[in-house]
């Protein structure tokens, strides 16, 4: 082989792999904006990944995910959203009403897949539930479940006449008003009285519990709010210290020692969001993906906590429970 032919052959074998790599499609990048913390949301984030995998996308191989966590501090969300939008994203996932609103306000140019509790039409996220436009996701309709939670709490602790309601005003005036109105209506039908307290910091949670105990409440309902999720252990510890039976929206509360929870399955919801994200990555338009509402609801009871509070779990509650934690 002549010298010139040899050099050309070597160059060809070097350039060919580089050219092949250059022709490979870029891995899509998903932005993930959450009101919660990575530790608190670990189980549910894994469910999101399972949804992506159902559509053929494996994080770290066929899709990349850029995570941003507000850790319950909603004031950081605009900056986190702006930071995410500085990346070449294929779409953005927002977990929690404030996260979805921050993402929209940041001026999205890509599809949005959300998890929200309030009506996404009223929030201005979608045009309609069936033809949502440039965004879609899952709507928890959280306000509709407050009355059911109070009913379950009263069934578990029938002697309780005055019930405390813990709210976070930073979650949004509309969300807070919706919970208060639903709680008041349920309390009237059950012949109970409601005492509301707000909290936006650890110290305010302590103060709110002190005020509720001083007001003579015998039970507790906590607004389903990501800030309270990130302070779950503090809230459960205070409930235990004051012997206050409480009902919450996700099973993590009774798993950590709270009395009970009732709400949609967060794991299933995050999985559905992962599936929707995967469908969009495969070319589906958000407008063709109707906003989903949960179909699975979980009633979880910590039987040991009930015993420590001197409560007997009624037979009808035992039958209805999806999980009993001993």
Convert the pLDDT of each residue in 146-157 to its tens digit. Answer: 899 999 999 999
Tokens of 230: 């990130």
Please tell me the distance from the alpha carbon of residue 67 to that of residue 45, in angstroms, as a whole number: 10
**d(C-alpha 53, C-alpha 144), whole Å:** 32
Positions of the chain with pLDDT under 50: 1, 3-4, 6-24
| Per-residue pLDDT at 13 | 47
Q: What is the pLDDT of residue 170?
A: 85
152 token code pair: 């379950």
pLDDT of residue 208: 98
Q: What is the pLDDT of residue 19?
A: 42
> What pLDDT does residue 245 have?
97
C-alpha to C-alpha distance for 209 and 235, rounded to whole angstroms: 9
State residue 123's pLDDT score: 87
d(CA 252, CA 48) in angstroms, rounded, equals: 17
Domains of the chain: 29-141+266-296 (3.40.50.2300), 143-264+298-325 (3.40.50.2300)
Distance of alpha carbon 54 from the chain centroid: 20
Give the tens place of pLDDT for each residue, 61-118.
Answer: 999 999 999 998 999 999 999 999 999 999 999 999 999 999 999 988 899 999 998 8
* HSE (side-chain half, CA atoms, 13 Å) at 252: 20
pTM attached to this predicted model: 0.81
């Amino acid at each position: 082989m002549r010298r010139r032919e040899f050099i050309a052959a070597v160059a060809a074998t070097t350039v060919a792999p580089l050219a092949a790599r250059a022709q490979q499609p870029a891995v899509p990048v998903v932005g993930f904006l959450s009101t919660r913390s990575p530790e608190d949301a670990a189980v549910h984030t894994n469910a999101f990944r399972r949804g992506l995998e159902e559509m053929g996308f494996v994080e770290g191989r066929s899709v990349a995910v850029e995570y941003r966590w507000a850790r319950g501090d909603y004031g950081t969300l605009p900056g986190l959203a702006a930071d995410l939008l500085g990346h070449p994203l294929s779409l953005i996932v927002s977990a929690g009403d404030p996260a979805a609103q921050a993402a929209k306000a940041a001026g999205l140019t890509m599809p949005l897949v959300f998890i929200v509790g309030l009506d996404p039409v009223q929030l201005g996220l979608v045009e309609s539930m069936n033809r949502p436009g440039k965004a879609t996701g899952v709507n928890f309709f959280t306000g509709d479940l407050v009355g059911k939670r109070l009913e379950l709490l009263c069934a578990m602790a029938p002697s309780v006449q005055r019930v405390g309601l813990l709210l976070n005003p930073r979650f949004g005036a509309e969300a807070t008003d919706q919970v208060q109105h639903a709680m008041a209506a349920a309390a009237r039908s059950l012949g109970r009285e409601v005492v509301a307290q707000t909290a936006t910091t650890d110290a305010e949670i302590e103060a709110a519990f002190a005020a509720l105990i001083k007001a003579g409440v015998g039970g507790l309902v906590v607004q389903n709010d990501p800030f309270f999720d990130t302070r779950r252990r503090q809230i459960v510890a205070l409930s235990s210290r004051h012997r206050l039976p409480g009902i919450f929206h996700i099973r993590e509360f009774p798993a950590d020692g709270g009395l009970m929870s009732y709400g949609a399955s967060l794991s299933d919801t995050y999985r559905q969001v992962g599936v929707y994200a995967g469908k969009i990555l495969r070319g589906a338009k958000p407008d063709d993906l109707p906003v989903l509402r949960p179909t699975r609801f979980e009633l979880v009871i910590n039987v040991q906590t009930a015993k420590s509070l001197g409560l007997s779990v009624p037979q009808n509650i035992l039958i209805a429970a999806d999980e009993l934690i001993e």
